[in-house]
Chains A and B, each alone.
Chain A
Amino acid sequence: MFSTEQSCWFVRKVICWRAAASIAWAVLLLPPITAVFIILSRFSFLHPIHTISECLSLLTSASAIFSFILLCGVILMVGFLNLEYYTVIPTIACSKIALLGQLLHPRQFVSSVVHCIMGIIVAWCCAITIGGRYETLGYPCIQSDGSPQMCLNEYQLILLLAGAFVGFSHSLLGVIHNMNYVSFHTVQQYKYLRFKGSLPLVVKCSAIQALYSIRNYIVVYFFLGYIPRAWICKTLNLHLTSSAHPLDSIAGLLDLSLFYHLWISATFLLFTWYITLLLFRIFVTEVYSFPVQSSFTEDAHQCLPKVLLTDKQPMILKFLALQDLALLSQHSPSRRCEVFSLSQPGGHPHNWNAISGECLSLLADLTQRLVAYHDTVATNGRAKSLSTGSERKTSSETSVTSGTEDLMSPRPTLLMKTPASVFARSIVGGPQSPLTAPFTPDLDSPFASPALRRLTAPVEQCSPWHGTVQSPHIMRRAPKLWSTSTDSQVNGSFPPSPASVPSPKQEASKPSLLAQFLQNRKEQVKNFLAKRVLIMYLFNKLPEASSQALFADSQAHIWALEGLSYLVQASFSEDHFGVVQTALPSILSCMLVLQEAVDRHFKLPHASSKPVRSTSSIGDSTYKTLRFALRATLKTAIYRITTTFGDHLNAVQMSAEHRKRLQQFLEYKE
């Protein structure tokens, strides 16, 4: 796991240190949090002074220090898991079955088990600090026949199991709410202020989440509590007292003080974990200022143009570089000046070419993705073959594609560009695990790399889940599970994807007779399966999920748009050599084509429906609204260029269609 990470200087030098700093702060915050927890858990209204003195003596006791060390270990582990599992591109499950697949993935399973164990440890520490009846697992008791033996203290058991349950549900909810997704804020603030600002939310979230978890836990314990109890008794050779009534009864669980202690322990557990997560997010998304150009050749790979261009890198590096680009284009004239400068021998605008080329290729990639998606959805329920889809493109689009291609350096399609990396954390450049691949949202898009496709194809054939990716459109019209396009892909040879080959106009091989027969068989099986309610439930598309998945990494596009448009705006007065002018036609046409594609996408059902905002979750739901943000940014970016240049834009060479479109913007009619 570390070998791949070592390869990147950025992870080694920046991300690891940022993670370490965040963990250090979380550990430093642990003592005050623990003190508050102790006071809250032991407080009694009748003897306030007594409580405080008791708490003070407890804080200095050996057991407290030991449990504190344990808690520090847990925080370290949580921090490490955050670093290991975080992603800047969220994983969006497009159907229930995909979500189920995510939950059952081995990587996720490991995380759940670790969270369970950590939950038990934290709960044990809580039991020690609360003291009283929770202190030990066994206690000496007298059996009815008079012989002394060890009995089970069910109060501690229920607390430990609560810790395990809360830890487990935390890890499950983490998958469902994409808690490992790290979003970047549009408003830059200093770390302390950001932390201070989100602290009330964390307190609220952890209290509410703890309440729900404990409610669920009590229900589970009421029905299934006897199983772990019997198991513990058996393994540890403890006995159940007949005098104390068992806790998995209504009378036992209606204990208000027990409920309070369970809730406060769960809140403490979640709060410390959330704080660690929050600190990690704040530290890792902090702006990193890349040099635009360096005077030393050994640092050249750390410069902004190089960082944007290189492929083998963690996604976070690319995102931070784009963020830095957007900020520098907006705020710092001197760094903009470096972007517009010419290389010393030769006089080439290398910096500008690299930056604009990369931004344009990002945008062109999104355009292609949207067009392909639209084409698969467009025909009434029956997805068309992808090759004809790319043929059907308007002439302007193809011209732009070819126009932008010369800007794109001929390099292989990146794995990162598709939202296909489900579990492969952004940082791990290794191969995808074949098991998860079928759950990727857009596998049948032509933009998954051919390598990935080949990797997943054998699984696809034998797995019943393949092709779960469909537009909501199709699924609602007819109860079909698979689209024909995936079938033809599986049976026949793979049609060359437009993204990976230079020319998008390539004919796919026609499916043979045998393939047709197999396809018919499949249709029958599908029709049969589609009538089963459970399967329909599992395979039904979640509304707007595919739209979210398409725009999952749109933060990068937003920054690319902002960076480009601000740079072009600044070039009006700051670009002394006219380096931007040469790229202006391609920038404008790229943005206009994207605008057209986005407009068309928003006409699809569910695409423009707003997601429900949930405020009581620590999980970041920014990704759900990224497509709206992209649409707004795109329009603003075009307007920024048109207001800056005004009528000068008439001198820019452009196709008639684009000129018409641009005229709309010049007249403020969009």
Chain B
Amino acid sequence: MCSLALFPPPLPSGQTTLCESNNELLSGTSTEDRPKQVRFTAAVLPLSLYFPRESLKLHSRTESSSKAAFLDHSETLWMRSAAAWRDGGLTGLLTEITNSHTEVPKWLSVSSGCTLALLRWISSFHGSLFPHLTLSSEDMIAEFSQVLNWSDCVVRAFSWHPHTDKFAVALLDDSIKIYNPKSATTPTLKHRLQRSVAAVQWKPLCASALAVACQNCLLVWHVDPCSLSTRPSSGCAQVLSHPGHSPVTSIAWSPSGSLLVSASPVDTAVMVWDVAAESCVPLQRLGGGGVTFLSWSPDGSHVLASTPSTLFRVWETRMWTCERWPCVKGRCQSGCWSPDGSRLLFTVQGETVIYALTFTDAPGSPGIPTGSSKGPQAAAVVADLSETTFNTPDGDIIQYYTGVIFSVSFNNSSQSVSVFSGDPQAVDRPAIIAVFKTRTNPIFELLPCGFVQGEPGAEPRLMQFHPNFQHGALLTVCWSTGRITHVPFYFLSTGVPHFGLSGSPLLPRLQERPSAFANQSLFTELIS
């Protein structure tokens, strides 16, 4: 088991992690400090982006609160009731009738008041079972999102395209921007229903489809990569909604690109969408009170679905049966699958350890649809990230406290895992990103690599590995300042024998190319 104490001490403040090479995280204070080869590779990396908070035009109030800005004009009771039914459903209707007791018969207002009280009592009872149901939908997204401090974060979601070098960024102002180094246009996606984006994900085996989890629905954008338009119309978006399935906090495409699953903390069912047909199959399992986070294993065989209670499920995608995994302490906050789909790393809220589960397919039953492959009986702890102190060269003592391990992610070649932890409540303890190397033989192990540090005052909010970086791994980090940076890790991908963990293979051969290499060209040229 690996712990933070084994890590090399963190960088002195003011230093920024630039890249990794030879199992060592290189750092510098600014771009000028970078060693030559690093500078060169930085030139072929995708752009670092910066979204200052001031540049975003936020809409300060929601639609319902804008009602107060208009003069009240008297409508008939029928009109108001219809509007209340449309906006607020049954509760809205009942509230409206109860409030307008001067116009309706007394028995009606009294009975609707009683019904309303009964409903509230029932829902408070339900809410006491599942406290998250009492949250407003924005708070709920903030609570269950994979982004630290989601409601205050400039970059709310980020997604690399699984096959190319483009990525989508969802911003605080509910717009999504798509950056493609090969094209000059940066499409901005806006839609009436695209509010409070909790997650975005590109469809695998497709160039154009981008799924967006919004407050009230799911949107699937079809952004033509060849189009020159910078504002695709809302006709390019498919709207997928199901009553009772909002807010959507997590989505996951199947690796084969055929199905999309979505989850909402309010709905106990996981929705499996056939996006082209716009039809869905709810997979209903009571218990847990909702589904907060979904992750589809890269081989397509399993889906992790965590709930707001101390329980998570692992669905098997052949016949869609599930295994229940009760946790002891808290809910499952995050999880990730190893690229071969055999191993699941997950973290639990309230514990500062990373657990691992190993799945092996039952051999010898190929034709028969097996219900569930027999997994392990208990999860093993693979890393401990509890509080540690480091002595810096200056003599200061830095205390690392990890409140919540926020998200874990595997890179595509299964050679490194990065863990991002922080505590939304603790302001004085900054969130950190710790990077581990992995070893699968003879047993699965995490080995320390180092901490990734940003500019002074910047806290990590969100991180993701590039799905197919050719020289190793590329970790993209979104910082609290609104900056998005990329940290490359150089090693050879799987398939090539690599020499243990003593050092990563050589850097890509570097010729004397001008460092004024165009920003838009990418690393594909390097292989030549």
Contacts and interface: CB of A to CB of B under 8 A. Distances in A.
Contacts of B284: 196-197
Contacts of B256: 330, 636, 640
Contact of B163 (A610, A626, A668): A668
Given A625-B276, A636-B257, A643 B163 contact: yes
Contacts of B281: 185-187, 189, 197
Contacts of A622: 277, 279
The CB with the most chain B CB atoms within 10 A, among A185, A186, A670, is that of A186
A635 B206 contact: yes
A428 B257 CA distance: 37
Interface string B203-228: 00111100000000000000001100
A463 to B, nearest CB: 36
A629 B225 contact: no
B278 A331 contact: no
A187 B258 CA distance: 10
A668 B277 contact: no
Given A629-B276, A668-B225, A639 B257 contact: yes
Nearest to B261: A187
A65 B164 CA distance: 68
B207 A193 contact: no
Contacts of A187: 259, 272, 274, 281, 320
B367 interface: yes
A625 B278 contact: yes
A98 to B, nearest CB: 25
A640 to B, nearest CB: 5
A629 B225 CA distance: 21
Contact of A669 (B225, B258, B279, B319): B225
A651 B369 CA distance: 38
B36 interface: no
B105 interface: no
B366 interface: yes
Contacts of B205: 635-636, 639-640, 643
B275 interface: yes
A636 B206 contact: yes
A635 B284 CA distance: 31
B282 interface: yes
A668 B276 contact: no
Contact of B366 (A189, A287, A335): A335
B277 A628 contact: yes
Given A332-B367, A668-B164, A610 B320 contact: no
A670 B225 CA distance: 7
Interface string B242-257: 0000000000000011
B318 A188 contact: yes
Contact of A670 (B161, B207, B272): B207
B321 interface: yes
A289 interface: yes
Contact of A189 (B225, B259, B274, B320): B320
Contacts of B283: 189, 197
Contact of B319 (A188, A332, A626): A188
Nearest to A289: B367
A82 to B, nearest CB: 22
Contacts of B163: 643, 668
Contacts, number: 90
Interface centre among A185, A328, A636 (most CB of B within 10 A): A636
Contacts of A643: 163, 205
Interface string A163-180: 000000000000000000
Contacts of A332: 366-367
Contacts of A287: 369
A190 interface: yes
Nearest to A332: B366
A200 B164 CA distance: 43
Contacts of A44: none
Interface in A643-670: 643, 668-670
A411 interface: no
Interface residues of A, number: 37
A556 B275 CA distance: 18
Given A197-B284, A636-B258, A190 B206 contact: no
A331 B256 CA distance: 12
Contacts of B276: 625, 628-629, 631-633
Given A197-B281, A631-B276, A334 B366 contact: yes
A616 to B, nearest CB: 12
Interface string B279-302: 101111000000000000000000
Contacts of B259: 186-187
Nearest to B367: A289
A668 B264 CA distance: 31
A217 B274 CA distance: 38
A276 B484 CA distance: 57
A605 interface: no
Given A188-B369, A636-B258, A668-B164, A629 B274 contact: yes
A333 interface: yes
Contacts of B282: 197
B239 to A, nearest CB: 10
A193 B257 CA distance: 24
Given A625-B276, A668-B164, A190 B321 contact: yes
Nearest to A624: B277
Contacts of B208: 670
User: In the complex, which of the residues B272, B283, B366 has the most CB atoms of chain A within 10 Å of its own CB atom?
Assistant: B366
A477 interface: no
Given A188-B319, A190-B319, A640-B256, A333 B366 contact: yes
B320 A193 contact: yes
Interface string A9-52: 00000000000000000000000000000000000000000000
A234 interface: no
A562 B369 CA distance: 19
A628 B277 CA distance: 6
A185 B275 CA distance: 13
A186 B281 CA distance: 9
Contacts of A635: 205-206
A603 interface: no
B294 to A, nearest CB: 15
A186 B366 contact: no
B210 to A, nearest CB: 13
B274 A335 contact: no
A378 to B, nearest CB: 24
A643 B272 CA distance: 25
Interface string A189-214: 11001001100000000000000000
Given A190-B319, A643-B205, A625 B277 contact: yes
Residue among A187, A188, A289 facing the most chain B CB atoms (10 A cut-off): A187
Most buried by A among B163, B208, B277: B277
Interface string B49-66: 000000000000000000
B371 to A, nearest CB: 8
B321 A625 contact: no
A489 to B, nearest CB: 35
A56 to B, nearest CB: 31
Given A188-B369, A189-B319, A625-B278, 18 more contacts: A186-B274, A186-B277, A187-B281, A189-B320, A190-B321, A287-B369, A331-B369, A613-B278, A622-B279, A626-B277, A631-B276, A633-B276, A635-B206, A639-B205, A639-B257, A640-B257, A643-B163, A669-B226
12 contacts: A187-B272, A187-B281, A189-B281, A189-B319, A189-B320, A334-B367, A622-B277, A632-B206, A632-B276, A636-B256, A640-B256, A669-B207
Closest 9 CB pairs of A and B: A632-B276, A334-B366, A625-B277, A639-B205, A668-B207, A332-B366, A629-B276, A628-B276, A187-B281
